[in-house]
Structure 1
């Protein structure tokens, strides 16, 4: 996938998930070695998709490291990458990996990385992207890639269109205009969704994968919470969001081969297992980014996001390096992944991916 280089800037801290209550709650929780001697403040900015997981990760880590404050601001993937490159964050959360060009030393000259350092992409959060909808009287919906692409491109505009009706013979589809909702911000969720549409329905979706919405029309909503609120409060609405945030909204099944597959952590994990590691000249030797195979068949769910923690190979400040290694080591651990399974319904890292990520984190200096 071709990605644009984000301009270096400091992201806004609209919402800080510092989980200060964790420091007041007492009790034991996973998240590092209490008595480790870690002190200081760690700042992350990035994907709103992993906000629920970051809340529990931060709370657990601070409980067992009471002299550490972790702030994670879910301003969106684009904002996270910009903050990291521009020196406004120690690590970023992003629903797509940074490219070799973006992690080159010259691109990180204003960051908190040591001079000459590159950065690494570490998968820590795997989740389906749910196609959420709000259509009165319709509880179940089945869609193939071509129909989904035409809906979001504005070529299918009514819920009783034959292309939808033919796939849903048992549904009472109303004569109602479709309101397709997309993200207003530069979003990794959008980038993963548009990547799927481009790969699975290229004759309709002729725009390459991009974090910024590529077509005119539809309704725009900021961040994951804005997407969910807009679909929930609208009429005849359809959108896309991290599955952990779907709530009581209807969620479409997506056609894979001859079957329609419902999203699940297991189906999301299955497609990740079928996908190779990215091989791109210039990436850090410790990079663990994944090239998702959107056309894999079987019991897989193809609209998946892999969210990355993006960290320096080497930090200018040794204490920051120690904090990053400890925090990222926790969230990628079995304990950290299970905490996110319980809080956000993610698909935990496989043992092979977890081992590779742990090795990369251990190499941070």
Structure 2
């Protein structure tokens, strides 16, 4: 996931919609909007270890950088060194006790032995998965003369597995009444390298396509068609240069390459990608972990039919010990994560992420305060 944003990442959002302010006020939010967060009245107890070490997901790197800046402003002399080495390394080195917390695109896996290894690292206490960073994924396309397009999970699946091959296919036309769709080939562009974005996109198709996507999920694209390009920049640049192209890519890449962004109809009408609609999807997420282990059931987002909820997201976790840190480390970890979940949210939109809605923020803060 790209996290650097050029221009107006929030250009899709109408004036007055959920822009974060320093005080976190929701007074300007449109009626029915999911509240977003900025600063919070939650107290931050600074101190403890002066420099935390963390490692993992590159998808959240710029979010972590934003959090670190807020942490340094809140707690003088405090710092975090974050190595964006990838989720696998983050989990491995957290479990080995080499870093104070890990970052991962996926929660700890019991079948891979990660849950048990983390408990051993945490002095016999369970580790918790805290989903602190969310990023929307866009269905970005370039189609001359068409800048307003709606797709569904089912139709997207048929496009990306080669069942629907023309832009004027009746399945697309049915979702875009009155639109003038050209008799033009659809050019699918996909990630050729292993990607958490690909995995999440295919999980979305699996959950939302009503059985149209049978290719499965995973970090390698399994659609069997199209042109592969490396990295988010590669797919976005390629799609931006081909009339008739479509790809799946993080929002900021789609905007940087002037791709149009499809609305998604999840059964309750077309939904535009905005902070409000992403926040509503996060708010509706089901947690399948127990207690303060906030492992998400992503199908509750991907397959949601909630009106006004944008369902195509990528979530990353901070993996922490529930207990088992020394006192100085525990104090610093709690301080950093508290700042990240409150003041740090004010910078996320500028980094291409979705700020936490208030109700979900409360769940995160409850878990953070329970770390001992």
Aligned counterparts of 1:88 and 1:235: Cα–Cα separation in 2: 48
Q: Where does residue 332 of structure 2 map in the other structure? A: 323
2:316 pairs with 307, 313, 334, which one? Answer: 307
Greater RCO, CA 8 A, separation 6+: 2
Aligned counterparts of 2:174 and 2:215: Cα–Cα separation in 1: 26
Aligned 8 A contact 2:70 2:340 in 1: no
Q: Where does residue 356 of structure 1 map in the other structure? A: 363
Aligned counterparts of 2:200 and 2:214: Cα–Cα separation in 1: 15
Classify the secondary structure of the residue corresponding to 1:181: strand
| Aligned-residue offset at 1:104 | 5.2
1:200 pairs with 199, 205, 208, which one? Answer: 208
1:170 pairs with 166, 172, 179, which one? Answer: 179
| Aligned-residue offset at 1:191 | 3.3
Q: Where does residue 236 of structure 1 map in the other structure? A: 244
Structure 2 gap ranges (5+): 5-38
For the aligned residue pairs, the C-alpha RMSD in angstroms reads 3.5
Q: TM-score, normalised by structure 2?
A: 0.74
1:129-148 to 2 correspondence within 5 Å?
129-148=137-156
| Aligned-residue offset at 1:208 | 4.2
1:297 pairs with 306, 324, 330, which one? Answer: 306
| Aligned-residue offset at 1:212 | 4.0
Q: Where does residue 293 of structure 2 map in the other structure? A: 287
Deviation per CA, 1:137-190: give whole Å up to 9, x if none.
332221122210012123333434443344344244352341231362241x33
| Aligned-residue offset at 1:326 | 1.9
| Aligned-residue offset at 1:302 | 1.9
User: Are 1:267 and 2:277 an aligned pair?
Assistant: yes
| Aligned-residue offset at 1:75 | 4.9
1:18-167 to 2 correspondence within 5 Å?
36=47, 38-48=49-59, 50-65=60-75, 67-78=77-88, 80-85=90-95, 89-101=99-111, 105-108=115-118, 113-167=121-175
Q: TM-score, normalised by structure 1?
A: 0.75
Classify the secondary structure of the residue corresponding to 1:71: strand
Aligned 8 A contact 2:54 2:101 in 1: yes
Distance 1:258 1:40, change over 3 A: closer
Q: Where does residue 337 of structure 1 map in the other structure? A: 345
Deviation per CA, 1:67-90: give whole Å up to 9, x if none.
444233445545544554455643
Distance 1:139 1:71, change over 3 A: farther
Q: Report the count of equivalent residues.
A: 329
Aligned 8 A contact 2:55 2:89 in 1: no
User: Are 1:257 and 2:259 an aligned pair?
Assistant: no
Distance 1:274 1:35, change over 3 A: closer
Distance 1:92 1:132, change over 3 A: farther
Between 162-171 and 144-153, report the one with greater CA deviation: 162-171
Aligned counterparts of 1:317 and 1:183: Cα–Cα separation in 2: 43
Distance 1:229 1:249, change over 3 A: same
Classify the secondary structure of the residue corresponding to 1:246: helix
Distance 1:135 1:306, change over 3 A: same
Aligned counterparts of 1:134 and 1:267: Cα–Cα separation in 2: 23
Aligned 8 A contact 1:38 1:323 in 2: yes
Aligned counterparts of 1:68 and 1:226: Cα–Cα separation in 2: 37
Between 256-265 and 65-74, report the one with greater CA deviation: 65-74
Aligned 8 A contact 1:126 1:349 in 2: no
Deviation per CA, 1:184-226: give whole Å up to 9, x if none.
2241x33332222112214221244434434434344445444
